Amino acid sequence: MSVSRYVGAVLAEKPGKDDEYERAMHDFFSHRPYLRQQVRDDTRRWPTRDELHERGR
């Protein structure tokens, strides 16, 4: 295989990979919300991120 054919094959393959990435990204972002906080049955609340990591104290 010549270099020009190899480069042509690599370049022909690239748009297909870009399309797959775009499709996967669209699929991921189409499901909102990304992270859903679970509802607790009791009256307690979930700690905030800052509380968990003792930030701002």
Distances (CA, A) of 17 to 8, 12, 20, 22, 27: 15, 10, 5, 9, 15
Residue 37: the pLDDT is 67
Instruction: Tell me how far apart the alpha carbons of residues 17 and 49 are, in angstroms, rounded to a whole number.
Output: 36
Tens digits of per-residue pLDDT, 12-51? 877 767 788 888 888 888 876 666 666 777 878 778 888 8
Residue 33: the pLDDT is 66
Residue 57: the pLDDT is 55
What is the pTM (predicted TM-score) of this model? 0.34
- DSSP 8-state class, residue 38: P
Residue 34: the pLDDT is 60
Residue 29: the pLDDT is 84
Residue 3: the pLDDT is 92
